[in-house]
Amino acid sequence: MKTIIKNTVNSVFGAAGLAVVQQETVEKSNRGQIIDKELVRFIGQVEESLRQTVLPNLPKRKNRHQIMIECINFSLQPFFLINYLNEVLHVSGDVCEFGVSHGASTALFANEILETSKHLYLYDSFEGLPKPTKKDILINDIASLGSMDRYQGEMAHPKERVLNRLSKVEFPIPRTHVIPGFIEKTYKTGILPEEVSFAYVDFDFYEPILIALDLLKNRMNPKGCILVDDYGYFSAGAKTAVDEFIAAEKGKFVLTHPPEWGGKFVILRPA
How far apart are CB 72 and ligand SAM at their closest, in Å? 11
Sign of the four-CA dihedral 27, 157, 138, 248: negative
How far apart are CB 11 and ligand SAM at their closest, in Å? 40
Sheet holding 94-98, edge to edge: 176-180, 120-124, 94-98, 196-201, 220-228, 266-270, 253-256
Q: Pick from 125, 197, 235, 240 the residue near ligand SAM by CB under 6 A.
A: 125
Q: Pick from 55, 58, 67, 71 the residue near ligand SAM by CB under 6 A.
A: 71
How far apart are CB 153 and ligand SAM at their closest, in Å? 9
3-class DSSP string for the chain? CHHHHHHHHHHHHHHHCCCCCCHHHHHHHHHHHHHHHHHHHHHHHHHHHHHHCCCCCCCCCCCHHHHHCCCCCCCCHHHHHHHHHHHCCCCCCEEEEECCCCCHHHHHHHHHHCCCCCCEEEEECCCCCCCCCCCCCECCCCCCCCCHHHHCCCCCCCHHHHHHHHHHCCCCHHHEEEEECCHHHHHHHCCCCCCEEEEEECCCCHHHHHHHHHHHCCCEEEEEEEEECCCCCCEHHHHHHHHHHHHHCCCCEEEECCCHHHCCCEEEEEC
Ranked by CB distance to ligand SAM, the top (closest) residue is: 99
CA distance 32 to 39: 10
Q: Does 47 engage in binding with ligand SAM (CB under 6 A)?
A: no
Q: Does 112 engage in binding with ligand SAM (CB under 6 A)?
A: no
Q: Pick from 170, 184, 195, 243 the residue near ligand SAM by CB under 6 A.
A: 184
Q: Whose Cβ is closer to ligand SAM: residue 115's or residue 184's?
A: 184
Q: Pick from 68, 96, 109, 130 the residue near ligand SAM by CB under 6 A.
A: 130
Q: Pick from 84, 182, 231, 245 the residue near ligand SAM by CB under 6 A.
A: 182
Q: Whose Cβ is closer to ligand SAM: residue 67's or residue 220's?
A: 67
CA 129 to chain CA centroid, Å, is 15
How far apart are CB 168 and ligand SAM at their closest, in Å? 15
Q: Does 210 engage in binding with ligand SAM (CB under 6 A)?
A: no
Q: Does 203 engage in binding with ligand SAM (CB under 6 A)?
A: yes
27-35, 55-63, 122-130, 144-152 -> range binding ligand SAM (CB under 6 A): 122-130
Q: Whose Cβ is closer to ligand SAM: residue 39's or residue 92's?
A: 39
How far apart are CB 54 and ligand SAM at their closest, in Å? 21
Q: Whose Cβ is closer to ligand SAM: residue 48's or residue 184's?
A: 184
Q: Does 122 engage in binding with ligand SAM (CB under 6 A)?
A: no
Binding-site ranges for ligand SAM (CB under 6 A)? 71, 99-101, 104-105, 123-125, 128-130, 155-156, 182-184, 202-205, 208
